[in-house]
Structure 1
């Protein structure tokens, strides 16, 4: 992620303007590696986030309200003791190093003043948040680094703080192009790698940007450039350096496509290589947007992963069970032959010789009267052989009846689990995932998580809402519980219900409101139903539709399972652009 030295310079300038002189009212620690300072500055309440996350280390103002643990961690309690009611005097930042210090005038419980420094080191998995006293000794840190972890630099209470070794690179503040060119001539590295290794504060993103502006492949060897290419590279680098020196910031989040779904990159400079961007007034807004979106996407993936595992295991179990039951049915399919053998032996019991292994008997059920070869157990009498076949027939018949019923139940369970899997695929928020989890808990597939007694149940999520080109409201269930509620409670009998034929998907309702529903609206609703189904990536998807009064739920059936009659079928192809255009 490009929280490089240039972004660090930009954020320090912003925090100085926004928070210098501010009072620290609260200290919170929502995560094991994150601190939030509630600061009152310039008659505003602000939240300053400091994160030592190995993946997303950063510091910025945030609007995101994070949930805090019921018992504050020890480091949080220490910070509260030393920093609460203290004032932020200034922010320290040195020559594009990603080490930022907060100089704080602290106030003890007795009203005594002392100087404290809170340092955040933004260094990937080695990131840390460290509290120092006025003598530069470490009071504590959010991560302890002892001699077993690092023989070079310990970060432990009571140790004197030593900053990480300075990078042996050229500073953008006083970049010597002649010296840089000398390095370039002798380098065997790629251009991007050369820039990254030789200029302080540059991230891979900025190195790619320089190459993009110079119209040069950044993976080429730095020493192999022509004179013209060297001039282009020098001019591109100078343009970036000039923007840094002049604080020519244009904070933005960058995307790979125009849908702006998950951010791809961010920076405080104008990154021209990206077409799709979202501009912001401050770098904190950019960082909040970028990391909040990334964090949300990651938490969605993590939460979904647990449920995917449960569903995958349950679906595999059902599929194996179904295969066993189908094999049992195939074996029981010959049951009538067993009954026939028993009856033919009984009809010919006095003409069948003893101690024979098989016998040819006429099948009197057949119009042609052909003979059937009947296997026998030579150790049994003809009557005992007949009873053997009748017993096997009775057992096979019972197996067929019971297994048929079990197979129907297993197939129904498999259909249900695949529908839940489809609903999980469509989840776009943590609450929607929690509702799917609760459904699996209610159906006995997962254990109920222990919950805090003071935590209230959130309000149920609402169905997706679309509006057809003709002005009709179209509602789409987000999970099976919601599907039942939408179809059986919310919808009126004259509304139109839609669902993909024989494919897991959401229930879709067109609200009639006393009007005739035109074919165009039905077709658009069918496209929406296909999009919210397992057939999303298919073409020519069959979607059944009927009036809600023709839809019913069998007793004892699982959530989302219904039967319907008097339906018609539309054939459509899912269209993402149409679905997005009709979103209400």
Structure 2
């Protein structure tokens, strides 16, 4: 969660104003219906109105813009390219930024416009207005029926959202603060105060420090995963703290390392779609194979009929439509259909041919069924790794795996040969033992067969896709408590729901064998023991 309330935004506003004021707009790109970049020289001011993470900050990474520009970006280019950013302001202490621009148009007239960034969850928007606050264009357009509180459409006069009048943080006295605190109404009475900020405001001195001290951009991590990003100093206990010199630096790191990056989510959806499409195709193939198995499973009956005909061949006249003979397999008479246009020997050969054909078809179908089942297990593991991916590097590894196994075509972006990325599986320290685990099947195979020693311990969730784990034991005994902790780590990286109990198998690495001809990461193992853990 990237936490930005009105008070936090005031500090981001100051940093943006100090960094960008006086710079000229050189380029504008719109990446999606809800996100765009305004380049001021080499600085990339990224603005997004996505409901899950509306934001305005200086980004380091450039996203790929579509070949055909979107309409809103064309309006922005018309009014902003070549303009100077003259200042960044905040409306009261609300989550609304006002970016003022000024340029001389083709007629030599000085033109002033504002880009209004409303950072308000699902109601977020980006609106371009002229010097008289008339709307020139906006990112999200609404009809009168959709938004009856204010008119948001081109040509209308811009109106700020209707908000409850509150006291500015700078104007709150100690007496007022103490009353609000006692009544638990800090949020209702102090402008820009968010829930998380209010939670830690235990007295006026802390509130005074919060308002007047410099920004303290911090990421709070748990087991290496970002849980919170804050601009102001909030005492979130129990987390590893990573401090930043700038607010934009913290937001940029948060965006790049979490699931909230639009580019990350797009890549994740693309890869998941590839795996899901292949899964759907293979599951349809399974149905067809099962039909073939049912069709060919009666091949023995043709051999029996052939044997009965062979035993009675001397008594057959030939060219009959059918014949009734004694079935020495079932100890009864049986009527056998024959082709009247063929001789007895030809009918006999026909039944033996049907036997051989159906037997081959049955054996082929059974073998193919096992291959497709193995393929489905592999694809489900791919999908599980995609769903668990929490950074772009992990997705890149999965993408390379899909390309290597010909599920995905490689897109050649440059003539230069791309260096083959070194496989570097992540590690964890548990009770003094180093634990390696894979984030995709290639890493799983590397962890098991390259990193794992014969006498190291190997872990994997039973019968569900997930990571292979290797515990480097160095010959030491591992306690039951440590085994359980490693099992918990295995459950976190497996396809099992939160709160479910799962069986984690473990054995010495020497008992793990790769399946010949199988996809990466598919193994068999023996001499295993198990630990049952609940996924937290």
Would you call these one fold, judging by a TM-score over 0.5?
A: yes
Instruction: Identify the match of residue 171 of structure 1 among 167, 170, 176.
Output: 167
User: Aligned-pair distance for 1:3?
Assistant: 3.1
Partners of 1:176 and 1:508 in 2: how far apart? 57
Stretches of structure 1 lacking an aligned partner (at least 5 in a row): 185-190, 214-235, 364-370, 578-584
- Per the alignment, residue 509 of structure 2 pairs with 545
SS of the residue aligned with 1:263? strand
- The two structures have a TM-score, normalised by structure 2, of 0.68
- Indicate if the aligned counterparts of 1:105 and 1:116 stay in contact, CA closer than 8 A: yes
Partners of 1:325 and 1:160 in 2: how far apart? 63
CA deviation string 1:113-139 (max 9, x = no partner): 665544323333443444455555555
Partners of 2:23 and 2:321 in 1: how far apart? 105
* Residue 356 of structure 2 is aligned to residue 394 of structure 1: yes
* Residue 275 of structure 2 is aligned to residue 311 of structure 1: yes
Partners of 1:451 and 1:355 in 2: how far apart? 65
Higher Cα radius of gyration: 1
Stretches of structure 2 lacking an aligned partner (at least 5 in a row): none
Cα–Cα, structure 1 residues 144 and 311, in superposed 2: closer, same or farther, change >3 Å?
A: closer
Partners of 1:81 and 1:508 in 2: how far apart? 53
Partners of 1:105 and 1:380 in 2: how far apart? 94
- Per the alignment, residue 56 of structure 1 pairs with 53
* Residue 276 of structure 2 is aligned to residue 276 of structure 1: no
Partners of 1:430 and 1:344 in 2: how far apart? 67
- Per the alignment, residue 462 of structure 1 pairs with 423
CA deviation string 1:391-447 (max 9, x = no partner): 54334323233323433433443344344345435544334424434544564545x
- Per the alignment, residue 92 of structure 2 pairs with 95
- Per the alignment, residue 580 of structure 1 pairs with none
SS of the residue aligned with 1:463? coil
- Per the alignment, residue 247 of structure 1 pairs with 212
User: Aligned-pair distance for 1:58?
Assistant: 2.9
* Residue 192 of structure 2 is aligned to residue 201 of structure 1: yes
- Indicate if the aligned counterparts of 2:37 and 2:44 stay in contact, CA closer than 8 A: yes
Cα–Cα, structure 1 residues 401 and 449, in superposed 2: closer, same or farther, change >3 Å?
A: closer
Cα–Cα, structure 1 residues 298 and 262, in superposed 2: closer, same or farther, change >3 Å?
A: farther
Partners of 1:308 and 1:334 in 2: how far apart? 40
- Indicate if the aligned counterparts of 2:7 and 2:192 stay in contact, CA closer than 8 A: yes
Superposed, 1:173-572 pairs within 5 Å as: 173=169, 174=171, 199-206=190-197, 242=208, 246-248=211-213, 251=216, 258-259=222-223, 261-264=225-228, 266=230, 268=232, 270=234, 275-276=238-239, 278=241, 280=243, 283-296=247-260, 299-322=263-286, 325-326=289-290, 328-329=292-293, 332-348=296-312, 361-362=327-328, 372-377=331-336, 389-425=351-387, 427-441=389-403, 443-446=405-408, 448=409, 457=418, 460=421, 462-464=423-425, 466=427, 478-480=439-441, 518=475, 538-543=502-507, 545-546=509-510, 557=517, 559-560=519-520, 569=527, 571=529
- The two structures have a TM-score, normalised by structure 1, of 0.64
Partners of 1:168 and 1:509 in 2: how far apart? 57
Cα–Cα, structure 1 residues 306 and 154, in superposed 2: closer, same or farther, change >3 Å?
A: same
SS of the residue aligned with 2:89? strand
Cα–Cα, structure 1 residues 201 and 120, in superposed 2: closer, same or farther, change >3 Å?
A: same
Cα–Cα, structure 1 residues 430 and 182, in superposed 2: closer, same or farther, change >3 Å?
A: closer
